[in-house]
Amino acid sequence: MSPAIELIDINKSFGDVHANRNVNLSVARGTIHGIVGENGAGKSTLMSILYGFYTADSGEIRVNGRPVAIHSSNDAITAGIGMVHQHFMLVEPLTVVENVMLGAEGGTFLRAGEAKVRAELGRLSRDYGLDIDVDATVGELSVGLQQRVEILKALYRGADILILDEPTAVLTPPEADALFTLLKALKEQGKTVILITHKLREIMAITDRVSVMRRGEMVATVETAETSPPQLAELMVGRRVLLRVEKAERAPGAPLLQVENFSVIDSRGVLRVSNVALTVHAGEIVGIAGVAGNGQSELLEALAGMRRPVLGTMRFEGREIGFDEHNPHRMRQLGLLHVPEDRLRMGLVPAFQAFESAVLGFSDDPKLGHGPLLDHDAMIEDLKAKMAHYDVRPPNPRLKSSKFSGGNQQKIVLAREIERNPRVLLVGQPTRGVDIGAIEFIHRRLIALRDAGVGILLVSVELDEIMNLSDRILTMCGGQITGERKADETDEQDLGLLMAGVTDRAA
């Protein structure tokens, strides 16, 4: 049987950047094939060529043994290829059925086309267990359900080969489990799945084979059952990678950040954080564990000054912060800096050049200009130094922020905040969508900050990350703190119960 996909000697350059170098890939039919590699290794470029967003400079694509010319996403869809992007391509005010119809209306009269879509969505939902309300407004669905809509769109258009780019980067653990169940069902129905991910645990759990890319080249393809996370990490980075954080015991210093009876409402007036009390000391990392949507995001944003609490007190280095001065600019002046959870919406301006995004929040720095006039040359040189220190690829300060891979965008945000010598650093999802080598680097930087006396409040949906980095762990459920543990005196089961609101450890 011919492979579902064959990519032969694929080359693609963007100016001086050779993104893909003579890449060869073979994906067997009816399998789940993983592709891993560092940020900027060329994975997304390769899949964008397969889906028609880019055209290869040279090379050949074969689908089910036949050479095909793919110059657009329509060509890919005609060839039976569908793609689910990390950042969903959905129109949030429209319903599920309307999103699926977009671009496939079926004629002038929408009613007939809608009836056909409804019937087909019903069949697909039954076949693959995709239980979803087709009349629901997409913007009101959870992230996991929005992802199901993207998969339904691809299946409706006849995809036999499905590409998923970092599909779990924005999912909660239960949503990720549901996705894996769905992918196994697709495989059993004869579909072929190509999975791009940085999470080696997911690769080991669900794929049949895995290919490794490094600096634009395909360096290995192995049977998943015959490899291990350390071996894959070494192939990805080209050196041995420490998958576990090494940190020395350290006695915490004076309290830096203290909040009591802290309560926050969202934009709709719903109470999202209720009577939270916490303290972050100098030289410690306090992790907050919880299923996404339980108030952690709103808590971080309120502490950073982006939301005004409706109740409670906040002290920074012993001084109470009044509601009248509770804003991001004042927090930054005090030394409380923030790495937001969503780098694209809150960390960067995608249309800005990287050197412009790298000064957001710090444009009043006299080193970068005087008064309303910024010195672009100084801004560029400042980012060049940070790019070298944080291994940002490509090291081009003039490149638009949107053109960097997700992990390299994250490095730019981290460099901007960390290199400003914070007293307290608020960090949301520091390694979301980041490769294994960058994860190791980011973890080391956070530990170095902690050892230098910085207080860090860390929010992550990755329980391994919380347990490895934190000195103390707080759990949140329903907007409230449900428990506190020392990192070396707990386990995933204990934390899972607390995250579910079961506060009695004996349970």
Domain boundaries, the chain: 5-237, 255-499
Closest to 309 in 3D by CA, of 317, 493, 300: 300
Q: Above 80 in pLDDT, residue 244? A: no
End-to-end alpha carbon distance in the chain: 53
For the structural domain made of 255-499, what CATH number should be given?
3.40.50.300
Sign of CA dihedral 451, 454, 460, 463: positive
Averaged pLDDT score across all residues of the chain: 90
- Say yes or no: do domains 5-237 and 255-499 share a fold: yes
User: C-alpha distances in angstroms, 237 versus 41, 133, 234, 437?
Assistant: 10, 43, 5, 6
**What is the C-alpha to C-alpha distance for residues 451 and 250, in angstroms, rounded to an integer?**
8
pLDDT in tens, 262-280: 999 988 888 999 999 999 9
Q: Which residues contact 199 (CB under 8 A, 6 or more apart)?
A: 168
396 close to 354: Cβ distance less than 8 angstroms: yes
Q: Above 60 in pLDDT, residue 506? A: no
Crossing angle between the packed helical segments 436-451 and 406-418, to the nearest 10 degrees: 10
pLDDT band with cut points at 50, 70 and 90 for residue 440: confident
pTM exceeding 0.85: no
**What is the C-alpha to C-alpha distance for residues 141 and 149, in angstroms, rounded to an integer?**
10
Architecture of domain 5-237: 3-Layer(aba) Sandwich (3.40)
pLDDT in tens, 53-77: 999 999 999 999 999 999 999 999 9
